[in-house]
Amino acid sequence: MENLLEKKILLVISGGIAAYKSLEIIRSLKKRGAKVKTILTKSAKEFVTPLSIISLSQEKVYENLFSTENELEMDHISLSRWSDIILVAPATANIISKLSTGLSDDLASTVMLASDKNIFLAPAMNVRMWEHPSTKENLNKLKKFGYKIIGPEIGDMACGEFGEGKMTEPNEIIRQIESYFTNLSQNKKFKALVTAGPTREYIDSVRYITNKSSGKQGFELAKSLSKRGFETTLISGPTNLKVSEDINFIKVETADQMFKATQNNLPADVAIFSAAVADFKIKEQKEQKIKKEDYINLNLEKNIDILNYVSNHNSLRPKLVIGFAAETNNIKENAQKKLMEKNCDWIIANDISNKSIGFDSDFNEVIIFYKDQKINDEKLTIKKKSEISEEIINRVISQLN
């Protein structure tokens, strides 16, 4: 029960017959010491009253997107920032459809669109509505967006039919919320380091050598780690990506700067090296801009191999060291060779010859190669990088625990 003590739950009640169960959810959350604020949709008021919610939650009920009472607070922002998680129970077919398309025409949908918190949906609807292809498609989209789905169950419905679509019982919803916070608490003991993006190796004061890495996969990995409770540091080369305030974000440009930042942020429990670090740097960088008419001969020298250094450093080596390998051919052979030579625990390889995934794309397809020969290689087929990250971090947590 302590897992919910002082936790801040924003409960969204949408307009389904199962809305009456939301009162039991509020009662159970409060009994466990959670703080509960509630958004009531217009149609939900046909099933439960604001007064009953207020009496249980001891908090005001939020209903309107534009409220003269809270004009300065901007409820759709403040409620999102206040909460630890958002729970939608019941989640009707209507609100699921709205969320899947990004529609925000009321307070509930606007809060969720503006939120960076984990959102749990407890679907409840007629069996035919649940089985409709559009509902399945909408839920699949929401899962890709990172929404957590609880249920539904199979049973008798208020409409007299029997089948899947019945909202999960309040005690099971509470159990899953408790389990989420338990896992979050367990992961807080772990420290994670992620490198991302390209590096720049300067030729003169304005020109440099770089690569096409966008940093998107590394940023998504850091986001997934942070949302799962890890104390997360993200070291990134130049990108235009935004990062959550929960992440310790360090900006660098060159491979040397990334190496020093990595050293300064070890030890860690897990280190994921997804950055596309330049293999070479200019031996003698010119302080002034080189003129067009000047003869230039670029003398290169190798950059330090950050992954190799960390993997083979006895006192600083994390429990789990993961490297990335961007390959254009012989992916398996090159990845396995890198796995052995670098002495890391996993190599995550992707085929950058496929222009639709990998560099500067929102999608990726990877193969995870494990140093432990008892574990078979795993291929994560084409998905959004956010989904790839979630699957990778699931495996990280399993390994660390």
Question: What is the domain-level CATH number for residue 152?
Answer: 3.40.50.1950
Say whether both 130 and 33 belong to one domain.
Answer: yes
Q: What pLDDT shows up at residue 67?
A: 55
- 255 in helix, strand or coil? helix
Last residue in a domain, options 186, 217, 246: 186
Say whether both 180 and 196 belong to one domain.
Answer: no
Say whether both 149 and 212 belong to one domain.
Answer: no
Say whether both 234 and 116 belong to one domain.
Answer: no
Q: How far apart are CA 130 and CA 163, in angstroms?
A: 9
Which residues on adjacent β-strands are paired with residue 378?
A: 368
Say whether both 335 and 200 belong to one domain.
Answer: yes
272: Cβ–Cβ under 8 A, 6 or more apart, which residues? 192, 193, 194, 195, 218, 221, 322, 324, 392, 396
Say whether both 158 and 258 belong to one domain.
Answer: no
Q: What pLDDT shows up at residue 305?
A: 94
Q: How far is CA 356 from CA 221, 330, 351, 367, in A?
A: 20, 19, 10, 17
Residue 74's CB is within 10 A of a number of other CB atoms, namely 13
Say whether both 234 and 303 belong to one domain.
Answer: yes
Say whether both 34 and 117 belong to one domain.
Answer: yes
Say whether both 303 and 349 belong to one domain.
Answer: yes
Per the structure, how many domains does the chain have?
A: 2
Q: What pLDDT shows up at residue 39?
A: 94
Alpha helices in 48-202 (DSSP H): 50-57, 75-82, 93-101, 107-113, 127-131, 133-145, 170-187
Give the pTM.
0.76
Q: What pLDDT shows up at residue 65?
A: 65
Say whether both 27 and 166 belong to one domain.
Answer: yes
Name the nearest CA neighbour of 39 among 115, 100, 97: 115
Q: How far apart are CA 75 and CA 179, in angstroms?
A: 28
Last residue in a domain, options 169, 186, 203: 186
Last residue in a domain, options 136, 166, 186: 186
Number of helices (H), then strands (E), in the chain: 13, 20
| Containing structural domain, residue 173 | 2-186
Longest CA–CA span in the chain (Å) reads 85
pLDDT in tens, the chain (401 residues): 567 999 999 999 998 889 999 999 999 999 999 999 999 999 999 899 999 999 999 999 998 765 545 544 556 678 888 999 999 999 999 999 999 999 888 899 999 998 888 999 999 998 999 999 999 999 999 988 889 999 898 987 777 778 888 999 999 999 999 989 988 888 888 999 999 999 999 998 888 999 989 999 999 999 999 988 899 999 999 999 989 888 999 999 999 999 999 999 999 999 999 999 999 998 887 878 888 777 678 889 999 999 999 999 888 899 999 999 988 888 889 999 999 999 999 999 988 877 777 677 889 999 999 998 888 889 999 888 998 999 999 999 999 87
Q: What pLDDT shows up at residue 72?
A: 46
Which one of the listed residues 159, 206, 340, 375 is annotated catalytic? 159
Between CA 34 and CA 250, with CA 116 as vertex, the angle to 5 degrees is 115
Say whether both 231 and 172 belong to one domain.
Answer: no
Q: Is 159 a catalytic residue?
A: yes
293: Cβ–Cβ under 8 A, 6 or more apart, which residues? none
Question: What is the domain-level CATH number for residue 242?
Answer: 3.40.50.10300
Say whether both 339 and 385 belong to one domain.
Answer: yes
